[in-house]
Structure 1
Amino acid sequence: MDPLQFLIPLGWLSAVGPVLPYAIFTMAVANIVTRHLAHRRHVEHGTDGDSVDPYTPHVFTNIGLVLLGVLFAIDSPVSGVIVSVIIITMVIADLFELEARNVEARNDMTIEAPKSAIAASGLLLVYASYYALFFLVEGIWNQYIVA
């Protein structure tokens, strides 16, 4: 018996749980794409001397990843917490990088790429692909690890 079954009705999560790694992987890829588009937009706005604004599709993918990470943490606690920590690290890095882009735009400096957020999103993509695409290497993995 699950100790949280009386506090939170989690029956629907058992049906959605197996799909969560694929959803996180898809959202991580979308996040990388929107990060690239956001950087292009920030460079365009930064050359005008204006402050840069958050890119709405990128904010959507960040929020989606946080929600999916929480759901994955409920469904698969250890893996979900690891993914959630990476996601939260990426979101915090995004916030700091946006403020750094604002400083660069206001002071007429060149707009740099958000290096720490790119590193965090790359780590998230590697970890999410491990969970979503493990079936591709499962036979080889089990042959050498189990034996």
Structure 2
Amino acid sequence: MDPLQFLVPLGWLAAVGPVLPYAIFTMAVANLVTRHLAHRQHVDQGTDGDSVEPYTPHVFTNVGLLLLGVLFAIDSPISGVIVSVIVITMLLADLFELEARNVEARNDMAIEAPKSAIAASVLLLVYASYYALFFLVEGIWNQFIVA
């Protein structure tokens, strides 16, 4: 008996649970793509104006990753919490990096890449690829672990 079965109906999550690592991996790749596009837009906005606005598709991938991380934490608690912590770290880095880009734009400085947010995104991609693509290296992995 699941302790949360009366509080939250989780039956649908059992059906979607096995595909959550693939969804997180796909969203992590999309997040890196939108991060690159957002940086290009921020560079354009920084040279044209006084402020930098958030890039809407990038915000969508951030929120999507947060929701998928919470769902993954319900389905697989330890792995999901690790993914959620990395996503929250990435979101906080994005907030601080956006403010740093605004400061650079207001002071007519060169717009730098969001290095800490990129590092958190890459860490998330590595962790998500471990879960989503483990079947590619499972045979080799089991030979080293069992032997």
TM-score, normalized by length of structure 2? 0.99
Partner SS for 1:54: coil
1:50 offset after TM fit, Å?
A: 2.3
Partner SS for 2:50: coil
Is residue 2:62 matched to residue 1:65? no
Partner of 1:10: 10
Partner of 1:111: 111
1:137 offset after TM fit, Å?
A: 0.4
Q: Which amino acid aligns with 1:50?
A: D
Contact 1:49–1:108 (8 Å) recurs in 2 = no
| % identical equivalent positions | 89
TM-score, normalized by length of structure 1? 0.99
Partner of 2:133: 133
Aligned residues: 147
1:49 offset after TM fit, Å?
A: 3.2
Partner SS for 2:108: coil
Q: Which runs of 4+ in 1 moved over 2 A?
A: none
Partner SS for 1:92: helix
Structure 2 gaps of 5+ residues are none
Q: Which amino acid aligns with 2:47?
A: T
Structure 1 gaps of 5+ residues are none
Partner of 2:23: 23
Q: Which amino acid aligns with 1:29?
A: V
Partner of 1:49: 49
Contact 1:39–1:113 (8 Å) recurs in 2 = yes
CA distance in 1, matches of 2:125, 2:50: 32
